[in-house]
Each structure stands twice: as C-alpha cells, then as structure tokens.
C-alpha cells in the first residue's frame, strides 16, 4: 500500500519568505486527496518538495518511507503534472510520449495505452502546438501515467478544462485512485491541488487545507462538511407565528429575504413544530455549508475562486476541450530537466 507522510515540513526562501511552515499531513490510498487553499498558501511548494524539485529547509516528506530522489525506478512509483507546458510545439503527441518513454526505459505500447486512457487516441499524430489547453492537460496526464504509478500528483489539473472535461477528470481520477484496490491493499494515492472550490468539491475525498503555509484543516471532506453549520429556510404566510413557535422551542429564528431562517435547525426539529402549530408551509429547504463557506471560514477567502460547476459526464474518448490555443500560447520551450514523473 503506497504511503505519503510529511512531518515538520518547512520551506523558507531567503530571510523573509516562509512558504511552508511546519506542515504535517498524510495522504492515504483509495481516494483523491485535495491540497486546497488560496493562491500563495504553499500548495505548489509543498508538491515540489514532495517531488524533490525543492529542498526543504527542515522536516521531511516521504513516499513509502523514502525521499523521491531515493526511490528505485521513480517513474513507476510517482507520476506528476505541475504544469502543462513541457512540449515542443512541432512534435506530435505520440512522439512526445515516446521521448519520455525512451528516457524512462518504458515500452512504447504504454504510449498508445495512455493516449487512449485520456481520450487522445485520434489526436496522437497531431502537433501539440495546435492543441487546446485542455488537450495539453490530458497529454500531460498521459505522460504522468506512462509508468503505471501508484502515486499521481497533479497541480491545478482542472485548468483549461471545460465543464464536461472537469466531469471527465473527476470520474477518471476517482477510478484511478480506487483501481486495483484488492491487490494494492487500498488502491492508489491521487493528490490534486486547486483553488477552484466548486470543482474540488466534486473531485476530492480527503482534504489538506493550507493557508499562509500552515495546515488549517485535514480530514475526510464529508466529515468536515458534516461538522459545518446547518440551517432550515421556510416560506410561509404565517412567518410571525412560526418565528414565535421556534423561539418557544428554544430554536433561533428570524425573517430573512421572504423566508423564516432557523440557523442550526434541521427538518426533523422544525417540521413537527409547524405541524403542531398548524402553520401553512409553501416551501422548506434544508442546507449545510458548502466547501466554499467552509474555506472562507478557514482561510478568510483570500485568493479563492468559486469556479464553475461540472456538467454531466461525457465520453472522454471523443471530445476536445475548446478551441486550439493561440499561437502565442503555443510556443512552449522544450521540456526542462527534472524528474520524468514531474517535469
């Protein structure tokens, strides 16, 4: 079973910039772990330390008990996408992956398998310079999976994807994390970072919340949301009587925007009170705090973006994500040096 563990992880740039401050976290297999927080919270720096691209000032982050640089055959253990820009614009998608496979000593059959996995089989012989940003994200994901890694690390993977693409990504990552759970005693580890909260809420199972380089919260997403504030809103022509009845039952209530709002209430508590007092009800809505509200409370909301909700899942093998990138956006330099799993 793969493991990732950080203890006391700290990174300081110069004297004045403390990017990550004594961070402790664990990532568990079988689900998608989200690194969430405002821009500048330390998410990317943490992932770069995990991949051996940045040296910690103190503390450690280990994969299966080892630093990334000490892993045997790291490409078969860890795949990573930190940015979708390591392409030669004139090289085809298939040849791009063949170059990476050659460097890693991987068989070429994995190239076509990975192109198929991300829905780029029909675009394999097209030059990457004509790809949209979403297609480039898919190509980088294919590159990261060439070695069939047990750990997948993705920095802002929803960038450039349209709602259908985000829905595809959500389903794909959940499947990849859970795939092979029996033989791996729990599945794979998938880590994604994001500041787009509506997308993150649809993708992640566990969260590590960072703010100012420090850990703000960690745990199962459903557990964090279960402990958040609940409320009941009721639309009724008997608003004053309902408010008084709720007050008599020691429940908070107030009129707000045409509704009677009971903060902290539940339908099970409010419903019988309305029946007992024969109060006419036109609408009753129960709600809990969203991931967005929770993060505003944890981080102050600075740098957070609401994003857009994902649409229905489409057939990821037969669509592209928007128009091709502009020529100016297509002129990436050739891939820079770094770990093949995370260049």
Q: Tell me which residue of 3, 39, 1, 4 sits closest to 23, measured CA to CA.
A: 4
Q: Tell me which residue of 297, 300, 285, 294 sits closest to 232, measured CA to CA.
A: 285
Q: Is the pLDDT of residue 312 over 50?
A: no
Residue-level pLDDT at 134: 85
For 184-221, what is each residue's pLDDT tens digit?
Answer: 467 899 999 987 777 777 788 998 989 889 998 898 88
Which structural domain, as residue segments, surrounds residue 267?
Answer: 229-288
CA distance 265 to 242: 13
Residue-level pLDDT at 179: 80
* Helices 239-248 and 267-276: angle between axes, nearest 10 degrees: 110
Better-scored residue on pLDDT, 90 or 293:
90
CA distance 146 to 310: 27
Q: Confidence class of residue 284 from pLDDT cuts 50, 70 and 90?
A: very high
* Helices 109-117 and 133-144: angle between axes, nearest 10 degrees: 130
Q: Confidence class of residue 159 from pLDDT cuts 50, 70 and 90?
A: confident
Interval 63-72 mean pLDDT: 93
CA 209 to each of CA 83, 90, 195, 298: distance values in angstroms, whole numbers, following the listed order:
21, 39, 10, 8
Whether 271 is covered by a domain: the verdict is yes
Q: Which tokens hold the place of 147?
A: 């070695």
Count of the separate structural domains present in the chain: 1
Whether 242 is covered by a domain: the verdict is yes
Question: How many CA atoms, within 13 angstroms, populate the side-chain half-sphere of residue 205?
Answer: 17
Better-scored residue on pLDDT, 40 or 325:
40
Mapping DSSP to helix (H, G, I), strand (E, B) and coil, where does residue 153 land? strand
Interval 132-160 mean pLDDT: 90
Whether 159 is covered by a domain: the verdict is no
Q: Is the pLDDT of residue 93 over 50?
A: yes
Q: Which tokens hold the place of 179?
A: 């795939």
Q: Which tokens hold the place of 230?
A: 């609940």
CA distance 43 to 255: 41
- Across the chain, what does the average pLDDT equal? 82
Q: Among the residues of the chain, which ranges form H helices? A: 43-50, 93-104, 109-117, 133-144, 163-178, 181-184, 197-203, 221-226, 239-248, 267-276, 291-299
Whether 342 is covered by a domain: the verdict is no
Q: What are phi and psi of 281, to 5 degrees?
A: -120, 125
DSSP label at residue 16: T
Q: Confidence class of residue 336 from pLDDT cuts 50, 70 and 90?
A: very low
Whether 256 is covered by a domain: the verdict is yes
Residue-level pLDDT at 125: 95
Spatial contact of 263 and 229, defined as CB atoms under 8 Å apart: yes
Whether 251 is covered by a domain: the verdict is yes
CA distance 226 to 235: 25
Whether 24 is covered by a domain: the verdict is no
- Share of residues in the chain with pLDDT > 70 (%): 80
Q: Confidence class of residue 233 from pLDDT cuts 50, 70 and 90?
A: very high
Whether 255 is covered by a domain: the verdict is yes
Provide the CATH number for the domain around residue 238.
3.30.70.1510
Q: DSSP letters along 183-221, please?
A: HHTS--EEEEEESBHHHHHHH-SEEEEEETTEEEEEEEH
CA distance 192 to 205: 11
Residue-level pLDDT at 225: 73
Q: Tell me which residue of 28, 131, 150 sits closest to 86, measured CA to CA.
A: 131
Q: Confidence class of residue 329 from pLDDT cuts 50, 70 and 90?
A: very low
Residue-level pLDDT at 321: 38
Interval 144-153 mean pLDDT: 94
Residue-level pLDDT at 292: 67
Better-scored residue on pLDDT, 280 or 257:
280
pTM assigned to the model:
0.70
Residue-level pLDDT at 106: 93
Mapping DSSP to helix (H, G, I), strand (E, B) and coil, where does residue 241 land? helix
Residue-level pLDDT at 169: 87
């Amino acid at each position: 079973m793969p493991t990732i563990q950080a203890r006391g992880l700290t990174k300081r740039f110069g004297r004045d910039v403390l990017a990550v401050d004594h961070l402790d976290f664990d990532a568990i297999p079988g689900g998608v772990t989200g690194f969430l927080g405002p821009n500048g919270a330390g998410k990317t720096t943490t992932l770069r330390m995990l991949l051996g691209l940045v040296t910690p000032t103190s503390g450690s982050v280990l994969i299966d008990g080892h630093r990334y640089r000490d892993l045997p055959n790291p490409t078969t253990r860890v795949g990573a996408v930190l940015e979708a820009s390591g392409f030669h614009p004139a090289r085809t998608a298939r040849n791009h992956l063949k170059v990476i496979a050659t460097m890693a000593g991987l068989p070429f059959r994995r190239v076509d398998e990975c192109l198929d996995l991300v829905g780029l089989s029909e675009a394999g012989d097209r030059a990457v310079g004509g790809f949209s940003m979403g297609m480039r994200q898919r190509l980088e994901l294919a590159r990261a999976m060439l070695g069939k890694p047990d750990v997948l690390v993705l920095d802002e993977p929803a960038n450039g994807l349209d709602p259908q693409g985000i829905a595809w990504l959500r389903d794909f990552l959940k499947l990849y994390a859970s795939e092979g759970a029996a033989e791996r005693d729990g599945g794979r580890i998938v880590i994604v970072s994001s500041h787009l909260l509506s997308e993150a809420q649809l993708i992640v199972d566990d969260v590590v919340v960072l703010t100012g380089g420090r850990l703000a919260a960690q745990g199962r997403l459903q557990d964090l949301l279960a402990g958040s504030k609940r409320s009941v809103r009721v639309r009724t022509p008997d608003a004053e009587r309902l408010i008084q009845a709720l007050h008599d039952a020691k429940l908070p209530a107030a009129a707000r925007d045409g509704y009677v709002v009971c903060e902290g209430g539940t339908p099970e508590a409010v419903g019988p009170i309305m029946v007992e007092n024969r109060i006419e009800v036109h609408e009753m809505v129960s709600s809990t705090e969203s991931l967005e509200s929770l993060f505003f409370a944890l981080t102050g909301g600075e740098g957070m973006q609401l994003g857009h909700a994902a649409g229905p899942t489409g057939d990821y093998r037969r669509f592209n994500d928007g128009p091709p990138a502009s020529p100016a956006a297509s002129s990436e330099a050739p891939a820079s040096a770094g770990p093949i799993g995370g260049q």
